Structure 1
Amino acid sequence: MYILGISGGHTTPRDIIRGGGHDPSACLLKDGKLIAFAEEERFINVKHAPGYCPNNAVKYCLNEAKISLDDVDYISFHVWHQHPDDRRAMITTVLNKIGAFLKMSAVKANTFMPRHHLSHCASAYLLSGFKSASIISADAVGDHGQTTLLAEGENNSINFLNDYMMPHSLGYFYGLLTEYLGFRFANGEGKVMGLAPYGQPKYDFSEIIRCGNIIHENAPPQLWVNKEIYGWAGDQPKLESILGPARKRGEPITQRHMDIAATVQKKTEEAMYKLTEYLVERTNKPKLAIAGGVALNCCVNGVLLRSGLISEIFVQPSANDAGVALGSALLCALYYGDKIDWKMEHTYYGPEFSNNEIEAELKKHKLSYEQHDDIASIAGDLVSLGYIVSWFQGRMEVGPRALGNRSILADPRDPKMKDRLNHRVKHREPFRPFAPSMLAERASEWLIDAHPSPFMILAFNVKKEKREEIPAVVHVDGTTRPHTVERSVNEKYWTLIKTFEEKTEVPVVLNTSFNIRGEPIVCTPKDAIDTFLKTGIDYLAIGDFLIGKT
């Protein structure tokens, strides 16, 4: 049975402002197994693709399986609108857009419409490998005003326990303070997370957010967000009355802004701790599966992992709204009898290109190149010599992290590498950290309380004696957000890091996404070549080909 999961495509301004129109995506399941999964932004080169329908992502999924839309048994789309008539109108609009893009006169398909946060929960729990688990979905808002869902999973069944409704939203709280600090909602939250360690959580947020008061025994903690803080950049009078003037975009960042960012991060960590504490105590299930936009906060995830409340954690790598396409498809598959009996161990579900396709694009660009049978070893050598190497291999990752197939790689030992990358390639704010990829079998030598981190979505403390060895990937607070690489999952990338280790005795490389600021991660050979040529990257290793500028 083929099931197509889709997210996005509803384009009214209200939907986009509420967060319902960003990160459109599509995935395809065959008999419960994931065949393809990709985000629309990669095909159209518009970051987050707000308001776009996942037309290209759908086309890719169908092409990957060599089927047409007529071969799909069910199309699953998470609920957004509350009224049944609005839901039917929404899915009809989206399907008509996809049909027109595919040049079909009409789309005739059975549809399945699970709820937004239930889809997030499914995307995490059903692919976690956990038989029993506590489950949290937290983002800005889903259907019916639901902002957070607490649930438990047992034998692939999800049982609803508690939820929180607007305006009491951790996602909106973080996003609105992101706007206050001069960054963009649903885009700049990672910048606030990166800024936070430079400050101290010294601000009184009691008029903004509270979490933890218990009404009576066994009741969930109260989560309260002041509805008066809602408002966008230039129109946040309540926040300004509490915290002072908002930072305008482009203005200098002061210590006050750093301290506010630190307080935002601290309050989010405290709230997620309280929710997890209550949930695990109620369910007696110490394994935690989480999704939703809040789950992209790797520092929160690291706090939960180290808290002692849980024994294991699985964070859906596509925790943003791209992931609800997957979650809704999984729920549909279960409902109609397919088995979901696999664990998500990687994110390589996007397009792949042959050497012939790559070479044709190189010739179009009239580039000189070499072909190597051992491209991973060649690239590892170049990184060890201090060169910045862009790495384009195999199937593209889905989700916001580059995990060794669409990456820019550099030497983490160089204390000046962060500035070099920012100046020559990424053009990011200087306070934002870079992250490492490391051999999974060596992680415990470098990280305190190491834990598998295949999706670069957990923060760890680096051992003090190791911090000076890899300064380019250690943040100001001594933490890092690692990608632990298993040989069995990505042998070519593992070989590159192993080669770097053989040259340097360091089993770690700096890994940042293959893109420039404001653009999505590259998808095609053309994207990769164009980005390589317009930046200060030294080498491009693409398929078996190597292109250099020196």
Structure 2
Amino acid sequence: MTKTYPHVGYRGIDPAGIAVGQREILGRSLPYFSSTHERSHLLCAFGLSGLPKGTPCYVLVWEGVIGSFYEIDEAFNFTLLGDVLSQPGIRYASVYGLADPTFPKDRAIARFGDAGKLMALASYATRNQTTAGEEDFLTYLMSAPVVRLDHYPGIERAPHYNVGVEDPEFRNFAGIASDRIFDTFYRFAEANLHKRLPLLIAGGCGLNCDWNSKWAASGLFPQVFVPPVANDSGSAIGTAIDAQWHFTGDPTIRWDVYAGDAFDSSGAIKRDHYDIIDGGPEQVAELLARGLILCWVNGRYEIGPRALGNRSILAAPFTDATRERLNVIKRREQFRPIAPVCLEDEAARWFGCHAPSPHMLYTFTATTDALRAVTHVNGSARIQTVSKASNAPMFDLLTAFKARTGYGVLCNTSLNFNGKGFINRIDDLDRYVRRRELDGFVLEGRAYLRRDAEAVKALAPPAQ
């Protein structure tokens, strides 16, 4: 009789804890490998880092549940250095839920989508001193074993309770709470991580670009690496790397951020809704420079949650009105920033970024007020840099846009329905463009411009 193995659990770093065997899946006996969630983050971070096996390093895993530092030694042994703060992601997102009247305060767990919103709001903070009431709530937030807002005594009297996320004093508190969580981990690192090893970061908090930038600027580590799949989207990759290490002794892989599926253009769309014209770089750059907002589809889609130029919505980066329209298209709050995609050799000039930042995981400070659509309220920008080698079609488009406007920079936000993955079928793309009232899309060297879009009607008649 074939022995079956259960899932091995959430925590656990000992390789003896993995499960290997055969399992009946959909009526078939298949090879089976199970690793813990904790190991999946560790293996994803190391396997994608490019560090050769035998390179010692530190790893920070911070996500909804785990908040811990580890060391990986030359023999690829894992050591837990400290459980610094459990539930950092839940604690962080709970701050947003405190002020949001639509969040049920008796909900058992925070909405993970609120973490990205709080990251945007934290940048609005203009003070760093707490009131007595704020300090009391922070004491609960940072010390409760399990965070639930309805477990805080007198939650209805807590500062910022249901005041709404537009409230300026709550926005100050968002920045203070964000700093308090980061500083807890920073103090541990400063006191305990003295070997000058590279730092690898995994877990959903690894998508907090402000925190990543603080680690990079801390001076504690000679190198900081964050994979583009830092959140749970990287757990399957990490488990596969763990399996490879188990069977071959090799925990490293060759990888490409554009490793998703190819676009499916076989479906039917209503072509009579569009003017179909040449979609070469110069033509698309001209359309964007003249104010159109376009979906851009190129090659295979990105792994991870960030649009990196293959499934993107693109626009000129110059005006607040463009940012506002993009947030309407995305059905997002207007306090949310829009990220820029930038030519690598322009990044230092416009954002003070002096090294490649290909995965949109760090923030930099804009050096000009001309790029208002991609500059957050505090002057920061979460940039992706592009070179000819990293993404040739996007490089060519940015080069053409620079020739047209003087700036090799565009607005870049993800092409997806809310809560869904990247759009990858032409019928879904057509539906998205028409429902969200974009001006068109670019696919396979052709630009499809919506005939009924006001911005398209304002153009000169397109050349066929």
Place the TM-score, normalised by the shorter chain, in its bin: 0.7 to 0.9
Question: Displacement, 1:497?
Answer: 1.0
Contact 2:141 2:147 in 1 (8 A): no
* 535 and 132 in structure 1: CA distance in 2 versus 1, 3 angstrom threshold: same
- Structure 2 vs 1, CA of residues 261 and 151 (structure 1 numbering), >3 Å: closer, same or farther? same
Deviates further, 289-298 or 441-450: 441-450
Q: Matches of residues 150-299 of structure 1 in structure 2 within 5 Å? A: 150-154=69-73, 157-164=76-83, 168-182=86-100, 185-199=111-125, 200-203=127-130, 207=136, 225-227=142-144, 230-231=147-148, 235-238=150-153, 240=155, 243-244=158-159, 246-247=161-162, 251=164, 253-281=166-194, 283-285=195-197, 287-299=198-210
Greater CA drift, 379-388 or 478-487:
379-388
- TM-score normalised to the size of structure 2? 0.83
**Paired letter, 1:400:** P
- 1:80 aligned onto 2:7: no
CA distance in 2 between counterparts of 1:436 and 1:279 reads: 36
Aligned residue identity for 2:90: Y
Does residue 546 of structure 1 match 2:447?
A: yes
Give the SS at the match of 2:205.
helix
- The one-letter code sitting in structure 1 at the alignment partner of 2:44 is S
Q: Cα 1:157–1:519, aligned 2, differ >3 Å: closer, same or farther? A: same
Structure 2: which 5+ residue stretches go unaligned?
Answer: 104-109, 451-455, 457-464
Partner-residue secondary structure (3-state), 2:229: coil
Q: Does 1:136 align with 2:60?
A: yes
Contact 1:151 1:158 in 2 (8 A): no
Mapped pair 1:472 → 2:387 = no
Look up the match of 2:434.
533
Question: What percent identity do the matched residue pairs reach?
Answer: 26
Letter of the 1:188 counterpart: D
Letter in 2 for 1:521: F
Contact 1:384 1:503 (8 Å CA) reproduced: yes
Any unmatched runs of 5+ in structure 1? 1-74, 142-146, 211-222
CA drift of 1:339 comes to 3.5
Deviation string, structure 1 residues 311-346 (Cα, Å, up to 9, x no partner): 3221121111121111111011011106344465x4
- Structure 1: distance between partners of 2:154 and 2:121: 19
Asked whether 1:417 is paired with 2:322, we answer: yes
**Does the 8 Å contact 1:149/1:160 carry over to 2?**
no
Does structure 1 retain, via aligned residues, the 8 Å contact 2:11–2:37? no
CA contact (8 A) 2:301 2:422 kept: no
What value does the CA root-mean-square deviation take over the aligned residues?
3.1
Distance 1:105 1:178, change over 3 A: same
Partner letter of residue 59 of structure 2? I
In 1, the alpha carbon distance for the partners of 2:145 and 2:344 equals 46
User: Is the Cα–Cα contact under 8 Å of residues 229 and 304 in structure 2 kept in the other structure?
Assistant: yes
**Using a 3 Å threshold, how does the CA distance of structure 1 residues 527 and 278 change in structure 2: closer, same or farther?**
farther
Q: Distance in 1 between matches of 2:385 and 2:7?
A: 32
For 2:146 and 2:11, the matched residues in 1 are separated by 24
CA shift, 1:134, in A, is 1.7
| Pair 1:491-2:404 in alignment | no
SS in 1 for 2:429: helix
- Structure 2 equivalent of residue 149 of structure 1: 68
| Cα distance in 1 between the residues matched to 2:394 and 2:49 | 23
Q: Which residue of 2 aligns with 1:382?
A: 287
Counterpart of 1:297 in structure 2: which amino acid?
N
Q: Deviations over 1:364-417 (max 9, x none)?
A: 665445364x63333222112221111011111121111101100011122321
Task: Report the Cα distance in structure 1 between the residues aligned to 2:74 and 2:215, rounded to whole angstroms.
Answer: 24
The answer to whether the Cα contact below 8 Å between 2:295 and 2:442 also exists between their aligned partners in 1 is yes
**Contact 2:70–2:79 (8 Å) recurs in 1:** yes
- In the TM superposition, residue 111 of structure 1 has moved relative to its aligned partner by 2.3
Q: Does the alignment pair 1:320 with 2:231?
A: yes
Q: Is the alpha carbon distance of 1:187 and 1:471 closer, same or farther for their aligned partners in structure 2, counting shifts above 3 Å? A: same
1:469-521 CA distances to partner (integer Å, 9 max, x unpaired)?
21111111111100111211210111111111111111111101113545443
Name the CA shift for 1:209/1:260 in 2 (closer, same or farther; >3 Å). Answer: closer
> Structure 1's 451 and 117: CA in aligned 2 closer, same or farther, altered over 3 A?
farther
**Mean alpha-carbon deviation: is it higher for 392-401 or for 334-343?**
334-343
Once residues 407 and 333 of structure 2 are traced to their aligned partners in structure 1, the CA distance between those partners, rounded to angstroms, is: 27
**1:428 Cα deviation (Å)?**
1.4
